[in-house]
Amino acid sequence: MTEKEKMLQGLIYDANYDSQLIAERLECKEMCRDYNDLRPKDNDGRNRLLHKLLGEIGGDILIEQPFYCDYGYNIKVGKNFYANFNLVILDGAPVTFGDNVFIAPNCGFYTAGHPVDAVERNKGLEYARPITVGNDVWIGAHVCVLPGVTIGDNCVIGAGSVVTKDIPSGSVAVGNPCKVIKKI
């Protein structure tokens, strides 16, 4: 089994010495660099690069520059997607956004994690768990979404939250760790 196959199956894998994963990350970094260097008025160029970079785009999309991701092909967005400045998506596993998702500045979606055991971690091993964000979700500034989290439909995640566990649909959730404070 290749390291990429392990990564995509959620198993422990080594991304640091696998030539295929290294090449894919470098290609993605090149595309992110090209995207981030485009003039803000170059909407056609931005759309063209996003369609080349991301795995699936369901409709209108705008990601403000700068934007960074690891592979790109594991990112799927629905219709009417907007992300403000400094979006980071570590997409070793799928990251799926539904329709009408709005993301404020300085947010991160991190599918990658590392073993708690120092010996294993120091070998450079990691794992990736999918992140899913439902429809009609607003994510406030400086939100961090960790591996394996699902945020349901019609949710608001308050600024500065660290989302470590699933958030049920129809919730306003805030804090570190992020917790539901109100049903919508």
Do residues 105 and 140 touch, judged by C-beta distance below 8 A?
Answer: no
Q: Which residues face 83 on adjacent strands?
A: 63, 103
d(CA 154, CA 139): 11
pLDDT of residue 177: 98
Cα of first residue to Cα of last residue in the chain, in angstroms, is: 45
**Location of structure tokens 């979006």:** 87
| Residue 9: C-alpha distances to residues 18, 71, 116, 128, 165 (Å) | 16, 15, 20, 8, 20
Instruction: Give, in degrees to the nearest 5, the angle at Cα 23 between 147 and 12.
Output: 35
Task: Supply the residues annotated as catalytic.
Answer: 114
pLDDT tens-place string over residues 131-160: 999 999 999 999 999 999 999 999 999 999
CA 25 remoteness from chain centre = 15
Stated pTM of the model: 0.96
| Residue 179: C-alpha distances to residues 133, 134, 156, 163, 174 (Å) | 16, 17, 11, 8, 6
Q: Which residues face 136 on adjacent strands?
A: none
| Residue 181: C-alpha distances to residues 36, 171, 184 (Å) | 36, 8, 10
pLDDT of residue 17: 84
| Residue 10: C-alpha distances to residues 20, 55, 57 (Å) | 17, 18, 23
Q: How confident is the model at residue 96 (pLDDT cuts 50, 70, 90)?
A: very high
Q: How confident is the model at residue 92 (pLDDT cuts 50, 70, 90)?
A: very high
Q: In what order do the strands lie in the sheet with 108-110?
A: 67-69, 87-90, 108-110, 144-145, 162-163
pLDDT tens-place string over residues 65-78: 999 999 999 999 99
d(CA 46, CA 23): 23
Closest CA to 131 of 87, 182, 66, 175: 87
pLDDT of residue 48: 97
Q: How confident is the model at residue 124 (pLDDT cuts 50, 70, 90)?
A: confident
Query: Could you name the CATH architecture of 3-136?
Result: 3 Solenoid (2.160)
